[in-house]
């Protein structure tokens, strides 16, 4: 698996309808991708598994869906209007813009702990050129919030932002949740939804895009318990990666983020990194956001956001632990892990070794020959029965059986079921296993329990 390239994954994703370039027929739009039918199914299986694991199976978690458009005061209070920036540098000849830290990293410089001035100095001292080999200009801070305007009357429009993170939706609803559900501390507010960042240079397929999806929760705690809570969620994040997504444990690494590199709101951050084909990169983050957000929103909104303990002790502003999970990066890690090449009957075979619960299609049903009505009718019966129970079942009668298997292998379908002449006699079918390519005969009535 180590020699798998990002191109292998992207090409399979496109060929088999997982992910297409955004606005492709118009030449695309940088940093945007569209999920096709199988990508949508895979993504949904991941988000559903996350919701089940972190929300539905617990009794201290409250799920919400807040608006993408928020009052701009939210982003002023949260510090995003002034501080949600990435360092930018421009190629003086082509005028192309790059992430300064990425240019340095690509040149082998360790940028950890460097501020804008230090990075700027490193560019000059080491004579680093742009990726096109040209002189680089002076660095600047670039704000990643997308602006849009609201209002139907021209001239009376006001600037608002597309949310740069989902977290603020949880903070502005903190009081609503407390007032309607009276939860005991600690408790969490969770959300899955889109976030938008005007990334300077989107790259690496869906790893760094301008519109992406986040699954995250804000876990409200009393300040003296933050270390234990941080540890609890650190362990749970590993459990999610290794038990639910079934990512290999040795490809997941923790990075203790230094104070200089932490986001403006964080007192401790651990990044979860994954060995992608293009290097070890951030998959998820775990941050101790203290009472930064609620305090700022209390001050800016004038609303009391304190928590009143039920035992009558003094009210206080809760602190927050925030585990955050990028959906698109999750999907990429899953695809990179599943992508397998082997040899079968002297030919190269590609298949996705997806965990069954994540596979977009659970089973494929085929009649051995599509011009034999008796086989087709029987196969339809089996298909309808499975479809009713499993939902994600595919019908495929195109080409020969070998080709059908190859197609299903590439989309990670765990089982292919073929109805042949023997089926008409004894109600058994062939079930072929994706990973081993082994075929067994099975009674139709046993299929549901076994696929
Ligand atoms: P990076 O350092 O890679 O830019 P970040 O530290 O800014 O990421 P967070 O603000 O912690 O990222 O965002 C939460 C999660 O959202 C990340 O862990 C990642 O999974 C995902 N994410 C962030 N930016 C992007 C992006 N541009 N495209 C896709 N996913 C992203």
**pLDDT tens profile 144-186:** 999 999 987 777 778 999 999 999 999 999 999 999 999 999 9
Query: What pLDDT does residue 103 have?
Result: 94
Query: Does the C-beta of 273 come closer than 6 Å to ligand 1?
Result: no
For residue 330, what are the contacts with CB-CB under 8 A and spacing of at least 6?
46, 215, 245, 283
Give 338-372 pLDDT, tens digit per residue.
999 998 888 899 999 999 999 999 999 999 999 99
Residue 402 tokens, joined: 């070998």
Q: What is the pLDDT of residues 249-295, one digit of tens each?
A: 999 999 999 998 898 889 999 999 999 999 999 999 999 999 999 99
Using 50, 70 and 90 to split pLDDT, how confident is the model at 190?
very high
**What's the CA-to-centroid distance between 240 and ligand 1, angstroms?**
18
**Does the beta carbon of 209 lie inside 6 Å of ligand 1?**
yes
Average pLDDT over residues 68-87: 95
Is the CB–ligand 1 distance for residue 166 below 6 Å? no
Residue of 87, 144, 329 to test ligand 1 pocket, by largest number of atoms within 8 Å of CB? 329
Question: d(Cα 83, Cα 31) in Å, to the nearest integer?
Answer: 22
User: Can you give the pTM of this predicted structure?
Assistant: 0.95
pLDDT at residue 155, as a whole number: 73
Taking alpha carbons only, the member of 33, 360, 333 closest to residue 194 is: 33
* Ligand 1 center–CA 326 separation, angstroms: 7
Residue 2 scores a pLDDT above 60? no
**Which is nearest to 253 in space by CA: 235, 269, 274?**
274
DSSP 3-state assignment of 411? helix
C-alpha angle 215/409/393, rounded to 5°? 70
Residues 6+ apart with CB under 8 A from 43: 35, 213, 327, 328, 331
Rounded CA-CA distance 305/289 in Å is 16
- CB-ligand 1 contact for 329 (6 Å cutoff): yes
Instruction: Give residue-wise pLDDT tens across range 83-105.
Output: 999 999 999 999 999 999 999 99
Ligand 1 in reach of 229 Cβ (< 6 A): no
**Which among 54, 311, 293 has a CA at the least distance from the CA of 188?**
54
- How far is the centre of ligand 1, averaged over its atoms, from the C-alpha of 236 (Å)? 19
Q: What is the mean pLDDT of residues 360-388?
A: 97
Q: Which of 327, 322, 320, 262 is nearest to 286 (CA)?
A: 322
Report whether residue 328 contacts ligand 1, using a CB cutoff of 6 Å. Answer: yes
Place of tokens 């977290």: 167
Measured from the CA of 326, which atom of ligand 1 is nearest? Answer: 20
Residue closest via CA to ligand 1's atom 21 equals: 326
Are the CB atoms for 46 and 245 separated by under 8 Å? Answer: yes
282 lines ligand 1 (CB under 6 A): yes
**DSSP assignment letter at 429:** E
Is a pLDDT exceeding 50 seen at residue 225? yes
**How many angstroms separate the alpha carbon of residue 387 from the centre of ligand 1?**
37
Contact in structure between 87 and 119 (CB atoms under 8 Å): yes
Q: What percent of the chain has pLDDT over 70?
A: 100
Provide mean pLDDT across the span 189-207.
96
Q: How far is the CA of 430 from the centre of ligand 1 (A)?
A: 45
Dist. CA 410 → ligand 1 center (Å) = 28
Protein residue whose Cα sits closest to atom 3 of ligand 1: 282
DSSP 3-state helix, strand, coil percentages of the chain (rounded to 5)?
35, 30, 35
Mean pLDDT confidence for 122-148: 94
Position 344 scores a pLDDT of 85
CB 123 within 8 A of CB 103: yes
Cα–ligand 1 centroid distance for 118 (angstroms)? 23
Measuring from atom 18 of ligand 1, which residue has the nearest CA?
Answer: 284
Say whether pLDDT at 413 is over 80.
yes
Task: Give pLDDT, residue 1.
Answer: 43
User: Which atom of ligand 1 is nearest the CA belonging to 282?
Assistant: 3
Percent of the chain predicted with pLDDT > 90: 93
Distance in angstroms (rounded) separating the CA atoms of residues 14 and 9: 9
Distance, CA of 422 to CA of 413 (rounded, Å): 24
């Amino acid at each position: 698996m180590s020699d798998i390239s990002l191109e292998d994954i992207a090409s399979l994703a496109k060929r088999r309808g997982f992910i297409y370039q955004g606005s492709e027929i118009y030449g695309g739009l940088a940093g945007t991708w569209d999920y096709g039918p199988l990508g949508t199914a895979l993504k949904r299986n991941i988000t559903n598994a996350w919701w089940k694991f972190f929300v539905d199976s617990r009794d201290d978690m409250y799920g919400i869906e807040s608006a993408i458009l928020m009052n701009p005061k939210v982003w002023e209070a949260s510090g995003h209007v002034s501080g949600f920036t990435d360092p930018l540098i421009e190629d003086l000849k082509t005028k192309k813009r790059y992430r300064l830290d990425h240019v340095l990293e690509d040149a082998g410089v360790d940028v950890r702990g460097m501020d804008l001035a230090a990075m700027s100095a490193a560019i000059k001292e080491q004579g680093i050129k742009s990726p096109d080999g040209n002189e680089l200009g002076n660095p600047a801070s670039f704000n990643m919030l997308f602006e849009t305007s609201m209002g139907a009357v021209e001239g009376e429009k006001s600037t608002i932002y597309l949310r740069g993170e989902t977290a603020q939706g949880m903070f502005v609803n903190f009081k609503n949740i407390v007032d309607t559900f009276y939860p005991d501390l600690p408790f969490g507010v969770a959300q899955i939804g889109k976030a938008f960042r005007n990334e300077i240079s989107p790259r690496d397929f869906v790893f760094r895009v301008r519109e992406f999806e986040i699954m995250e929760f804000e876990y409200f705690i009393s300040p003296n318990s933050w270390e234990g809570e941080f540890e609890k969620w650190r362990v749970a994040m590993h459990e999610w990666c290794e038990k639910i997504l079934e990512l290999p444990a040795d490809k997941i690494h923790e990075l203790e983020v230094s104070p200089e590199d932490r986001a403006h709101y964080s007192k401790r951050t651990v990044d979860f990194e994954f060995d992608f084909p293009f290097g070890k990169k951030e998959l998820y983050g775990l941050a101790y956001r203290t009472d930064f957000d609620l305090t700022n929103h209390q001050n800016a909104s004038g609303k009391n956001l304190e928590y009143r303990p039920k035992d009558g002790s003094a009210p206080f502003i809760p602190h927050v632990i925030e585990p955050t999970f990028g959906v698109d990066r999750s999907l990429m890690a899953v695809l990179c892990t599943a992508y397998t090449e082997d040899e079968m009957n002297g030919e190269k075979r590609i298949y996705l070794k997806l965990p069954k619960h994540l596979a977009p299609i659970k089973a494929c049903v085929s009649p051995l020959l599509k011009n034999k009505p008796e086989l087709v009718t029987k196969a339809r019966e089996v298909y309808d029965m499975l479809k009713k129970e499993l939902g994600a079942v595919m019908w495929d009668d195109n080409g020969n059986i070998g080709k059908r298997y190859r197609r299903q292998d590439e989309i990670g379908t765990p089982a292919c079921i073929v109805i042949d002449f023997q089926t008409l006699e004894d109600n058994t079918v062939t079930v072929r296993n994706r990973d081993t390519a082994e075929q067994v005969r099975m009674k139709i009535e046993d299929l549901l329990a076994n696929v």
